[in-house]
Structure 1
Amino acid sequence: MKNHYLNVSVCALITLLFAACAKINPPVNELYRFNQLGFYPSEEKIAVLDTVVSGPFYIKELNSGKVVYEGLVSQPRLSAFSEKETVVIPFSQLRTKGTYFIEIPEVGKSLPFEIKDSLFSSLSKASLKAFYLQRSGTAIEAEFAGKWERPAGHPDTLVRIHPSAATAVRPAESLISSPKGWYDAGDYNKYIVNSGFTVGILLSLYEDYPQYAQSVSVQIPESANQTPDLLDEIWWNLEWMLSMQDPSDGGVYHKLTTPSFEGMIKPTECKQPRYVIEKSVTATLDFAASMAQASRVFAPFEKDYPEVSQKMLQASIRAFNWALQHPDALYNQRKMNANFKPAVSTGGYEDRSATDEFFWAATELYITTGNDKYTSYVKEYLPESFILPVWGNVSGLAQMSLIRHRDKLEKEMGSLSDSAGKQLINYADSCLAGVELAPYAAAYGRSSKDFFWGCNSDKASNQGIAFLYAYRLTNDRRYLTNALHSMDYLLGRNATGYCYVTGFGHKSPLNPHHRLAASDGIDEPLPGFLVGGPNPGKQDGCEYPSLVPDEAYIDILPSYASNEIAINWQGMFTYYVMALDATLRDIK
């Protein structure tokens, strides 16, 4: 009997000891959501708990376990499209740099996070370096890419003219050379519509933050020259784009592609013939716009790029004139396949209208040349409200250029610039209505309509850029703060708990839909790429863990609808993170 009581006492003592240890060193709970890169000392610091509790929370130093800040969690916040509730954990008053974790007694502790300066410096460089890793037609060297080196693939020096693109001068199956450029996305093809858009947003980054861009080196083969790495990388794609213009008439081929997508194989293993496909008005105008913008940006760098500025301007003017003569030449892949062989099933980048492309091209040509003949087209196609720029509607790129050059524009065009600025601020204000009740403390992600194919770029990053423009126009800190909050969302403070950029954070995509990454034999994905994000449309047919809009994401290779990478998404994200880095790095 004594032994029985002794055993009971020992068990009780062990239970108490375990309970005491749990209080001293509680388990990590992954329900904490926060920016996995950390926080700036002087900016707002918010975490979210993906469940409901009440009462105090504690911020503790990682090494000592010392409490450095305590506060109360918010009242529960309800999702607008699910039954999920969250609570917000605010600790903006903690400004001391260091490594910390959050602890709520009944929940456990979070993974560690940092408070530090230059928070986005490494991410900014990686987002730009991703374009080097995406280059076509060249060896990616170990000196610049480390273990992600690879031999050259797709030289594209013997590209066939597709029957849809044939002319008397360039008959079907004749050969042209069209090397370089970036692979478009998870596939190995190259598309002018998406390339023009991507180049446009990256050139806008340079025009908006020139001093910052000139200071950033990402170690690419051209880094030793006198031109900023951002522009060197853009030129790799611009040079390919120039080869896609038909020298006989100025029109631009819609894309360079294989008839069907290659498998998940290395570039050197690809065997399908590659074609340039028929000219389209949208491709030609996107080409015209980006070339006009590039012409003025590259003008100061004649030493490294002699005569390039003038060459691009002339190419732009010829393309615009072709578009005026062929305003209805919209690309329709189904119709093309009915008339020409081989049939093509790769990305269509189709559009129902070219009015936004005319607006963008005319705007860039006017800003570069000052020629009044483009003014009428700008006026004709000026939208009534600000539209977030995406490849399918590029009006926002034109509006951003009008805003950017407002001090240089005269009279009528100056008035249009003022109008574009007011439209953008109205848009930003509409996004902030009710933001104080957002479940993840961000303007983005409060509506089910925020989640679709490519939403991490086309809505979250895009909206963040709009906030940054509004901040530059007004100097109102609300816009900058909310631009940072949307980035917090992308980097971990969201319903899935993912940092949506490969190679960053404690939970990031490992299996993106990306042929280069899938075929290289390396466990880790190529770093610095933003993936598409939650997409309840699940056009890929994969089984997602949830169809709740902000949870409809799966990190598997086949999920091109939620887990692919793409240069247009990467371009938007690169602008976004670099602009934040440039804006916040000097704020104390």
Structure 2
Amino acid sequence: MKPFSLKAAVAFCSACVLTACGSSGGGSTSNPPSNQSSEQSSSQSSEAQSSSAVSSASSSVVTSAGRIKLNQLGYAPQASKVAVVPEVVASEFSVIDTADNSVVYTGDLSAAARWAPANQTVALADFSELQTPGTYRLQVEGADLSDPFKVGGSPYAELNAAAIKAYYYNRASTELLPEHAGTWARAAGHPDTNVLVHESAASTERPAGTAISAPKGWYDAGDFGKYIVNSGISTYTLLAALEHNGDYYADQDLNIPESGNAIPDLLDEAMWNLEWMLDMQDPNDGGVYHKLTTKGFAGAVMPAEGTAQRYVVQKGTSAALNFAAVMATASRVVADYEEVYSGLSDEMLAAAESAWQWAQANPNVAYDQPSDISTGAYGDGSFGDEFAWAAAELYITTGNDDYYEALDLPSQGIGNPGWSYTAALAWMSLAHHRNHLTDAADVSLIESGIKNFADQLAGESEASAYGVALSEGDMYWGSNGGALNKAMMLLQGYRLNGDARYVQAAQALLDYALGRNPTDYSYVTGFGERPPMHIHHRQSEADGIVDPVPGFLAGGPNTDAPNDCGADQYPAGNEAKARAYLDHWCSYSTNEVTINWNAPLVYVSGALDEYYGE
């Protein structure tokens, strides 16, 4: 590397924002991912089915193989900075200061290599030594000039805030006022104060047709359903971000209705969903309803226009265990705010233990979609991972060794977390709390499990022609969420032993989501030079506003995509799995947004921002 003397710094803004800013799981080899979004498993949404072909493409579509791919937002000065360069004759690259077009850095490209998921041969440009704040471009002879990018402090602060505020925009049962929602203000939808018990959920105490109240919560994805199973990993990940990086969130102001109430806004937002989850537990037996939805998907309408009757549907083992894990986690988080949430920590823990007891008595009740229900199933027939996760969270919160024994950690594999594979979350929580566990815990096993998985991912990143821990098998439904869950697990490795390799590999995966990918999109609405503009999200489609709701992570390339937009609409298809993405409303299989994909975006962007701010 041959650094030049750098020019005067350009003032740094923390994100490149084009618009105003305010579901599926990874799985280990023994627990393969269930690539199912809320609109996939049962019957597909009617408006997607009716779209036989894409009539108009996004105006932001750019898929030039000649484009240099990099993080379109930018980098902290101390961060690793790597761009992907298409196959060229040149062997060097230069970094140009946009203030005066001077060359401030030059370096050698890596040897060209083929990255199978993109079916492309590429080289890497590493300019990590460039640390002076400013706005720059990469230049390589034979390739297009790169997008401008920034180097400076807190590069992901606005991204993190927007990724959290996306949950506010997806709140059920409340009006979004202009002073908080700005352009995306809307009327209240789905009060959910008169929800009927579906016959699949009927009991002696609550027969079919019984009206219950279960307001609040977040719309799960592009639809208006609320699903305990997907809600579980989503809410946990936000709570983990707060537990692990509390100082970062302490003074964050998201401009939500609760801002300024002496509670971190991240916890305020999580509470909107936790209160709904508590109402989804049957107080008569501790069981938890799987979901709250209408019988079928609504069309492309605003929430206030979705007025069909809503139901709670079937209790199940997965729902009970997800609920138990999240409530045990929430119990210890809200305990720090007892003066505000008087008695709530104890209430949550009691609810968690009641749900655990229900699951113990009903250990194999899989969700079975009723014939008259066609909203997302989130079905899962294997519950060992959920039992492990719930046991781990209850053990950490209570210190009761019986829960640790029930966890049976030596039998639990560790892989990438997702809604259908939650054992990894047990490892994650145990590692964070390892210095405060009882003598029953095998701390060396906990540490080695996290380290071994982080080593595996870092090795995949270092061996990859694209410099990311992603392969063809990672291009499933919600692949971008899977990528960021890998980044989250890498950061758990760093938290154990401070190995910088893990942070670099996590940074590379965030870079991937923000533009260092074969589609040339930054996959987060409102951020980067080419963000998605036509996400599968009912409010964004129906509100008449050009820009979609900001801060949402699009699902990403998916080689299992059905022909939701008509045949032959996905660029390159199986010939280039990492390019099987379409920025169109009809593409719910690649362009839907969900709460569980946004959650690791929150965790990773906040953790990296705090790490580089130290």
Note closer, same or farther for the CA distance 1:196–1:384 as it changes in structure 2 (3 Å cut): closer
Match of 2:570 in 1: 544
Partner residue in 1 for 2:464? 438
**1:454 is aligned to 2:478:** yes
Find 1:196's aligned residue among 220, 224, 232. 232
Residue 450 (structure 2) aligns with: 424
Which residue is 1:411 aligned to?
Answer: 439
Matched, 1:244 2:280: yes
| 1:188–1:267 CA contact under 8 A, matched in 2 | yes
Q: Percent identity?
A: 44
Q: Once the two structures are superposed, what CA deviation does each residue of 1:12-54 show, in whole Å capped at 9, x if it has no partner?
A: xxxxxxxxxxxxxxxx996111100012212222222223232
SS of equivalent residue, structure 2 residue 93: strand
Question: Is the contact between residue 225 and residue 304 of structure 1 (CA under 8 Å) also seen in structure 2?
Answer: no
The alpha-carbon deviation at position 81 of structure 1 amounts to: 4.8
Instruction: Verify the 8 A CA contact 1:49 1:86 in the aligned structure 2.
Output: yes
CA distance in 2, matches of 1:269, 1:569: 26
The 8 Å contact of residues 97 and 114 in structure 1, kept in 2 or not, is answered as yes
Give 1:464's aligned amino acid: A
Shift of 1:508: 0.9
Q: How does 1:150-165 map to 2 (within 5 A)?
A: 150-165=186-201
Partner of 1:102: 138
1:562 equivalent in structure 2: 590
Equivalence for 1:17: none
Please state which structure has a larger fraction of its residues in helix.
1
Rounded to whole Å, the distance in 2 between the matches of 1:272 and 1:263 is 11
CA distance in 1, matches of 2:220, 2:232: 11
Q: Distance in 1 between matches of 2:508 and 2:145?
A: 22
Q: 1:124 to 1:392 in 2, by over 3 A?
A: same
Instruction: Please tell me the residue identity of whatever aligns with 2:572.
Output: S
1:526–1:83 CA distance, 2 compared to 1 (3 A): closer
Q: Which amino acid aligns with 1:514?
A: H
1:147 to 172, 176, 183: 183
SS of the aligned residue for 1:70 comes to: strand
Correspondence for 1:5: none
Query: Is 1:215 matched up with 2:238?
Result: no
Matches within 5 A, 1:302-321: 302-321=338-357
User: What amino acid maps onto 1:140 in structure 2?
Assistant: L
Q: What corresponds to 1:388 in structure 2?
A: 416
Question: What is the CA-CA distance between 1:327 and the residue it aligns to?
Answer: 1.0
Matched, 1:362 2:391: yes
Cα separation, 2, equivalents of 1:384 and 1:249: 29
2:366 equivalent in structure 1: 330
Query: Alpha-carbon deviation of 1:404?
Result: 0.9
Look up the equivalent residue of 1:158 and give its one-letter code: N
Cα RMSD (Å): 1.6
Cα offsets for 1:430-451 (capped at 9, x unmatched): 2233644523222x23x21121
2:378 to 346, 349, 354: 349
Per the TM alignment, residue 545 of structure 1 is displaced from its structure 2 partner at its CA by: 1.5
Q: For residue 400 of structure 2, what is the amino acid of its counterpart?
A: N
Distance 1:93 1:376 in 2: 48
What is the letter of the counterpart of residue 241 of structure 2?
Answer: L
C-alpha contact (below 8 Å) 2:238/2:270 kept by paired residues:
yes
**TM-score normalised by structure 2 residue count:** 0.86
- Provide the rounded CA distance (Å) in 2 between the counterparts of 1:127 and 1:434: 27
Gaps of 5+ in 1: 1-27, 338-342
Distance in 1, Cα, partners of 2:364 & 2:560:
31
Cα contact 2:401–2:440 (8 A) shared by 1: no
Aligned twin of 2:163: 127
The answer as to whether partners of 1:133 and 1:145 remain within 8 angstroms in 2 is yes
1:264 has 2:292 as partner: no
* Equivalence for 1:523: 546
User: In the alignment, residue 452 of structure 1 is paired with which amino acid?
Assistant: Y
Change (3 A) 1:217 1:30: farther
Amino acid at match of 2:384: T
Deviations, residues 118-173 of structure 1 (Å, cap 9, x unaligned): 11111111111111111000011111111111110000011111111112222211
Task: Give, as a single letter, the amino acid of the residue that structure 2 aligns with 1:567.
Answer: I
Which string of whole-angstrom CA distances, capped at 9 and with x for unpartnered residues, describes residues 192-224 of structure 1? 111122111111111111222213221111112
CA contact (8 A) 2:75 2:150 kept: yes
8 Å contact from structure 1 (residues 60, 69) kept in 2:
yes
DSSP 3-state at the match of 1:250: coil
Cα displacement (A) at 1:403: 0.7
Q: Which amino acid aligns with 2:608?
A: L
Question: Could you tell me how far apart the structure 2 residues matched to 1:256 and 1:131 are?
Answer: 18
Query: Would the aligned equivalents of 1:97 and 1:115 in 2 still touch at CA under 8 Å?
Result: yes
Structure 1 window deviating more from structure 2 (364-373 vs 287-296): it is 364-373
Partners of 1:496 and 1:73 in 2: how far apart?
Answer: 21
**Change in 2 beyond 3 A, CA 1:370/1:71:** closer
Of 53, 77, 95, the residue aligned with 2:89 is: 53
Q: Equivalent of 2:401, from 372, 388, 397? A: 372
What SS is found at the alignment partner of 1:154? coil
Q: Tell me by how many angstroms 1:579 deviates.
A: 1.2
1:353/1:434 CA distance change after superposition, 3 Å: closer
CA, structure 1 residues 82+550, in 2 after alignment: closer, same or farther (shift >3 Å)? closer
1:513, 1:563 within 8 Å by CA — same for their partners in 2? yes
Structure 2 CA distance for aligned equivalents of residues 143 and 278 of structure 1? 39
SS of corresponding position for 2:289:
coil
Measure, in 1, the Cα distance between the counterparts of 2:98 and 2:66. 17
CA shift, 1:382, in A, is: 4.9
Residue 253 to residue 427, structure 1, CA distance change in 2 (3 Å): same
Look up the match of 1:171: 207
Which residue in 1 is equivalent to 2:508?
485
Amino acid at match of 1:424: I
Give the Cα separation in 2 of the matches to 1:233 and 1:324: 31
Which residue does the alignment assign to 2:499? Answer: 476
Does the 8 Å contact 2:564/2:588 carry over to 1?
A: no
Contact 1:138 1:180 in 2 (8 A): yes
Query: Equivalents in 1 of 2:463, 2:366: separation in Å?
Result: 44
* Partner SS state of residue 255, structure 1: strand
* Cα distance change on mapping 1:67 and 1:395 into 2, 3 Å: same
User: 1:453 corresponds to which letter in structure 2?
Assistant: W
**1:402 and 2:426 matched:** no
Matched-pair contact (CA < 8 Å) for 2:286–2:354? yes
Indicate conservation of the 8 Å contact 1:386/1:420, yes or no: no
Match of 1:553 in 2: 581
CA distance in structure 2 between the aligned counterparts of 1:296 and 1:476, rounded to whole angstroms: 29
- Greater Rg over alpha carbons, structure: 1
Q: Hey, what's the Cα distance between the residues in 1 that align with 2:99 and 2:321?
A: 57
Structure 2: how far apart are the matches of 1:322 and 1:92? 52
Equivalent residue in structure 2 for 1:463, among 468, 477, 486? 486
Distance 2:312 2:399 in 1: 33
Aligned to 1:62, which of 98, 108, 121? 98
Distance in 2 of aligned mates of 1:566 and 1:89:
33
Equivalent pair of 1:244/1:253 in contact (CA under 8 Å): yes
Q: What is the aligned partner in structure 1 of residue 555 from structure 2?
A: 532
Q: Structure 1: how far apart are the matches of 2:563 and 2:169?
A: 25
Inter-CA distance 218–328: structure 2 relative to 1 (3 Å threshold):
same
The whole-number CA distance in structure 1 between the counterparts of 2:463 and 2:322 is 40
Which letter maps to 2:571? Answer: P
Distance in 1 separating the partners of 2:358 and 2:173: 29
Q: Please point out which of 106, 112, 123 is paired with 2:148.
A: 112
CA distance in structure 1 between the partners assigned to 2:261 and 2:461 by the alignment: 46
SS in 1 for 2:603: helix
2:373 & 2:404 partners in 1: Cα distance? 38
Structure 1 stretches of 4+ moved >6 Å = none
Q: Is the 8 A contact 2:289 2:315 kept in 1?
A: yes
> In 1, distance between residues paired with 2:563 and 2:549?
22
Please give the alpha-carbon distance, in whole angstroms, between the structure 1 residues aligned to 2:177 and 2:561: 36
Q: Give the drift of 1:540.
A: 4.6
**How far apart are 1:297 and its partner, in Å?**
0.7
